Structure 1
């Protein structure tokens, strides 16, 4: 009886030649690649409830390029209001392809533009021996096109069709079911639109050129938790399965090989909190992945002094104040992100009070040098990891932060950029979100 063996593989896995299939070496290579692709299907950078839904990858995802605040921008020269750069909200298929392959399971261009992909290869064996092999790749790009949109577009592309020999792929049918199997809260109502590459044969998809489909997911406001944030978190987890032609034995591989983590909020302190007067349009969508704040030490960067301070806190913590031999400040890696502190103004003020006291203690009561310098603290006073964290959380060490007098204007500009970063990246208050600070 003819048989088909199906492998779910990392993108770019070479298709064995007929000679490799005949010798058995090709199958061993595919089995090894399939084992490598299995296991964790949740990005390391996932935050919120989705972070615990499935095993996380131990390797960081590829992330978007640094957003420059320097380079002679209008804001840097003082001719325009200082703002953090807008995060990208779209991604071409070519971009997604360029960042997939090998160990890369996810490309997180921003919190509003992400992609993932998988390759499916079938080896066909007839009663007379090897018939050949066929493979294709599913790419999925998630995007939130506008900063006032509650609709997320999931663009599906089926490409990279390759056949070895002459397998009967006209009868190989693919079924793709994409939904949100889990939401937090569980009773949130979800609206779907568009299509996925569902109920199409290999040959039908190959002839479409392009085989492109757009699936949309919308969650209305007023259904969330986390108090005023009105947060709905979810899992976008497609099931992809193949149905073999009549008379062929084997497993078409029905499974859920990856997941994405969309979310929706209507926080009153973020953009579109009123929906422009339309309550059903309040808030916006994003993806529940860590944000990346980029500060620069370049001479033209308005935040330069603060960036230099953070770089020292990361790379030479023993040289920073207050003294702490075991100091390792948060914000450097996905296991120790920063969390925005917005609602608790008392705690924010306490962070600031302790920082100023340390500046006076270590740099003298006249550390401001005639009001030309400010006491800069990192982690920021607007985070839960600020100077007072040990007073509010019993399992953290004291003095796990850094203070330093820095140029007053640069400190103010860094604060302005931070506020703009929070707003443009929809960083919400609390431990269900997070961000990292990268210094360039």
Structure 2
């Protein structure tokens, strides 16, 4: 989620533009409380995929009225997805549950989607030489798994939060076995609803013609960086992901991803002075905008004063200063393309990083008082040095963004 920004003229006054997050995280245990009302807001069919779960409960209905199974008792049971439901509680929090059933159909119900992990059965090796090859079937030989110690050594040798080299060329069994290790060490997770990606591709229906040029540029950035057509434009009748305008004024966001769609704040998008303040009248005039997180004067006009958790940073913090240059139209286009590119990054399974140069940067790992679901460590400020160009402002993908997206594909998140 890209948070709202205060305005400035040539000095940037950002309101947590980089405090960007994923909508819809709530505690599933709270949903089961009898005093809470659960409203079903969406039901969608999904492709049948095999899953396993080691924690949480299975409920009898999408309204979570009764726990029928403790999933820790079914660690070796493979469940198959049938449909996905979006619910809201009385606190207006969203959550996603998947209706699953085992092969016989005797054990079935609704499970918190994040507790379900894609299951890939290991292959079996038949030892010995068959006497009659024409009548004997040999199953594929299982690849030897990398040890957890060796995997950690590869992670430690890679740049922070950047899976490089051999980390992107392991076996399918390695990625399935150590999924949680990759999630925590690279700030990634399975954030898109089932059915958003089909055959490694998502089709986007853009609900407003005004947004199409921005969406096209954002799609092109990911498609070019990943070397394949990951995102395409769809239609109202044929799509897997929606993108349109929403109201981010109350919650303070410029862009948000909720698992099945992206929304861009209508008011800010249509405000020609947002987020940089009044611009020169001539759109061809090149200007330079100075950005700073410095809020040491206490006036509350630096980026750091407006992060999502509303913490006021004092003079002991590291302050980041940079400058972006271009015509007013270029700066505004880059900003909104950056917002959309960032939100599409969430659909690919990327959570935030503390690196200002990443498209997925956020100044803090805490948003609305909660830490990211998967994070290598907590942070409260950017790690980059002064002068670093902001990925979200310039709509630029870093190598870290690209490598993490390649990893989430190998993990089966898109």
Which has the larger Rg? 1
Question: TM-score if structure 2 supplies the norm length?
Answer: 0.25
Name the one with the larger strand percent. Answer: 1
